[in-house]
Homo-oligomer: A and B are copies of this chain.
């Protein structure tokens, strides 16, 4: 297994990426070979300093960096020697099995959508977030911002992608799917939610339990919560701010600690043929370690093949 890691992505790269790599190697019995994309002059001394065994990694020199605020499409086009561009090249060619970056989110999305293929039958790939439930369980919310405007069929597909992810990565059997909505009964909600409900109800590949309201998001009602990316992104960023606010107010409680995104590492792009994981710009070592573990899990669980098979069935 070969996992590609962008060493130049994120506010604390490459140092925190190296430290995360060290953590991953120390906590993993048979680690993947990690391909490190970035400026070797910056990377090599750090690998030595943190005693990363040479046989564990393959450094791929990529001298350019796409900055956090560069225009994604333009930057990817003009900086073909950037760590993100080279990483996607390796992934597309099958020279790595997954690619991780905490760099420019837009460039990662453009790379994922254009240098890789969508799974056949998937209309729109999606991104998700983990939602810590009150009782200690974990939920999945999607879409969280890739698709600001959606059609009912998009949400129906997100439900299936999310269910497969919840089952094979989060380990939730027969995950309960809820439609984010502003009322409990069928027929409630905005035009999109009203039109989506019957599709979810008729989808025999998912375990649809009906609508879930804002008050249900943090409690153990649905495992997979589906909405368009506008509402999902507002919920995601509100949840992230809860961690920051409780931190600033020194409200210490394990529940709010679980809102720390570093626990989960990053968000995979779902609906494409290969694992791509996008990290937060402010990722630290723990986050990099968790993204490496998540990539390995996505590869080992055959998640992509399972998604391909499920969408093949739909056709």
Query: What is A's interface to B at a CB cutoff of 8 Å?
Result: 134, 145, 148-149, 180, 182, 189-191, 193, 213-219, 228-231, 233-242, 244-245, 248-249, 251, 253, 255-256
CA distance A253 to B246 in the complex (A): 10
- Contact with A255, one of B215, B237, B245 (Cβ below 8 angstroms): B245
Task: Tell me if A's interface is mostly helix, strand, loop or mixed.
Answer: helix
CB distance from A88 to the nearest CB of B (A): 24
- Residues of chain B with a CB closer than 8 A to A228's CB: 190
Given contacts A148-B193, A190-B229, A251-B251, 16 further A-B contacts (CB under 8 A): A134-B249, A182-B230, A182-B233, A193-B230, A214-B237, A214-B239, A214-B240, A215-B237, A217-B241, A218-B238, A218-B241, A231-B231, A234-B235, A245-B255, A249-B255, A251-B256
Smallest CB separation, A248 vs chain B (Å): 7
**Nearest CB to that of A217 among chain B residues?**
B238
Q: Which residue of B lies closest to A256 (CB)?
A: B251
**Residues of B with C-beta under 8 A to A230:** 182, 189-190, 193, 231
CB nearest neighbor in B for A228: B190
Q: Are A180 and B234 in contact (CB under 8 A)?
A: yes
CB-CB under 8 A from A145, the residues of chain B are: 182
